[in-house]
């Protein structure tokens, strides 16, 4: 089986989106950080509730349940797929179509940690990550999720900054303007071959004698983005 750190997903519009998959080592280190955080919280609670008798013990058990099962779900759903441990390593959980992870998927992948942890120390999960093409543990396979590296926003901003705005030579309708803008903003997520293919499709509405249609499309996209921001 061929393993690759890049996964490609083709959208209904024919655009190849790509993400860099995360291997077992960063995921393990992120899990250790989250585990240390949960243990620290439980130790503090244990000290605070030590003299509360049976009521304190009940509160402690409820807190343990919430931290064990809902800590990752809440962070993944409401914090862009990142627990504190994942954020420390610039990784996050997403759906396998590269969209943000949803509540049901996050809940499924975390409930199935009981299978991944069997027989101890996440042995089954580690084997699954090492042997699957997209580095998925059993919970990821069942939930349809991936763990990927976060995109560098600064890199995207730098790429946009390097583009020269180009006013369109022909009038564009709203749909065409959106196509130019999307093509520009998705730089870094679209494979080079697909970039050229989409630019060629747009060629009928491009000026004649354009040597690099993809650069022209991005230039118009940046010009449209600048115009839109001035109108706000």
Query: What's residue 154's pLDDT?
Result: 44
Each residue's pLDDT tens digit, 173-223: 877 777 777 777 766 566 666 666 666 667 677 777 777 777 888 888 888
Of the listed ranges 84-88, 156-160, 179-183, the one predicted with least confidence: 156-160
Q: How many CB atoms lie within 10 A of CB 167?
A: 9
pLDDT value of position 1: 41
* Residue 100 or residue 162, greater confidence: 100
Q: For 40-185, where are the E strands, in sequence order?
A: 91-95, 145-149
- Cβ 190 vs Cβ 16: under 8 Å: yes
Q: pTM for the full model?
A: 0.67
Q: How much of the chain, in percent, has pLDDT values that exceed 70? A: 80
More confident residue, 166 or 15: 166
The residue among 84, 46, 75, 76 whose CA lies nearest residue 63 is 46
Quote the CA–CA distance of 109 and 94 in Å, as a whole number: 11
**pLDDT of amino acid 215:** 80
């Amino acid at each position: 089986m061929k393993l690759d750190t890049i996964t490609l997903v083709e959208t209904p519009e024919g655009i190849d989106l790509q993400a860099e998959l995360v291997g077992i080592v960063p995921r393990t280190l992120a899990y250790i950080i989250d585990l240390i955080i949960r243990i620290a919280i439980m130790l503090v609670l244990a000290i605070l509730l030590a003299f509360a008798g049976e009521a304190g013990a009940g509160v402690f058990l409820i807190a343990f349940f919430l931290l064990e099962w809902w800590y990752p779900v809440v962070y993944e759903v409401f914090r862009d797929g990142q627990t504190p441990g994942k954020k420390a390593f610039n990784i996050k959980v997403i759906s396998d179509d590269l969209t943000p992870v949803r509540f049901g998927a996050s809940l499924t992948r975390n409930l199935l940690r009981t299978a991944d942890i069997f027989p101890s120390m996440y042995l089954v999960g580690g084997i699954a990550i090492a042997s699957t093409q997209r580095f998925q543990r059993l919970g990821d396979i069942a939930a349809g999720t991936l763990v990927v590296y976060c995109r560098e926003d600064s890199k995207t901003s730098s790429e946009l900054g390097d583009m020269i705005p180009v006013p369109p030579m022909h009038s564009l309708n709203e749909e065409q303007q959106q196509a130019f803008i999307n093509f520009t903003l998705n730089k870094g997520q679209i494979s080079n071959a697909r970039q050229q293919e989409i630019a060629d499709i747009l060629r009928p509405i491009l000026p004649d004698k354009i040597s690099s249609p993809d650069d022209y499309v991005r230039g118009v996209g940046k010009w449209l983005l600048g115009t839109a921001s001035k109108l706000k």
